[in-house]
């Protein structure tokens, strides 16, 4: 059993549209996006929904790529699932991250989840206008944009591991 398998959802296969496991890099992300667009087109998904899903997917994958634990980068340490069920689409990602960053992520997600639609819009514009970027190159718009585009609050789970590492699982529901 791999270290990642203990965190992998029990049975995503029946609802799974596409899955990606392993190391995230720019090339793999681009290939997965192209594959996703093709699959959604084959499913007859509207252009509007397809764009929303791909936009959210890119944000999630960039978050995983930029915030994964550097010590785990060379291992099979991440997964991403795009699925569809009777309620709509869902996206699930899982990756290891430094434990020291957990409180920052939890506070950010909880803060964004507590906002109304108007507050989300105002915060998004304010953040864009502020022009502040983190050391990792982001402006802090990832989770904010995911919640805005999905139309739903995100759910998450942190499971602390050894060696100052925590496993982070993010679940996003996207209703049509």
Domain tally, the chain: 1
CATH of the domain at 61: 3.30.565.10
Judge residue 18's burial from the number of C-beta atoms within 10 Å of its C-beta, 0-12 exposed, 13-18 middle, 19 or more buried. middle
Helices (H), 22-173: 26-42, 47-67, 102-113, 117-130, 142-150
Instruction: Tell me which residue range forms the domain holding 64.
Output: 5-174
Under 8 Å between Cβ of 63 and 97: no
Q: Which residue has the tokens 């050391």?
A: 135
Burial environment of residue 115 by CB neighbours within 10 A (0 to 12, 13 to 18, 19 or more): middle
Write out the chain's pLDDT in tens, 176 residues.
Answer: 345 455 555 545 567 888 888 877 888 889 999 999 999 999 999 999 999 999 999 999 888 877 776 655 444 578 899 999 988 999 999 988 889 989 999 999 999 999 999 999 999 888 888 765 555 555 568 899 999 999 999 999 999 988 888 999 999 999 86
């Amino acid at each position: 059993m791999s270290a990642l398998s203990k965190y992998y959802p029990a049975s995503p296969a029946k609802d799974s549209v596409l899955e990606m496991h392993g190391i995230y890099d720019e090339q793999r992300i681009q290939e997965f996006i192209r594959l996703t667009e093709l699959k959604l087109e084959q499913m007859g998904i509207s252009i509007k929904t397809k764009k929303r899903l791909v936009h959210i997917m890119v944000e999630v994958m960039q978050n995983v790529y930029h915030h994964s634990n550097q010590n785990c980068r060379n291992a099979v340490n991440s997964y991403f699932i795009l699925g569809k069920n009777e309620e709509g689409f869902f996206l699930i990602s899982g990756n290891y991250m430094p434990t020291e960053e957990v409180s920052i992520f939890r506070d950010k997600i909880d803060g964004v989840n507590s906002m109304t639609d108007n507050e989300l819009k105002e915060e998004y514009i304010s953040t864009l206008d502020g022009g502040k970027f983190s050391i990792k190159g982001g402006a802090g718009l990832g989770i904010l944009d995911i919640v805005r585009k999905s139309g739903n609050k995100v759910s998450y789970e942190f499971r602390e591991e050894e060696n100052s590492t925590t496993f982070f699982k993010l679940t996003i529901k996207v209703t049509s």
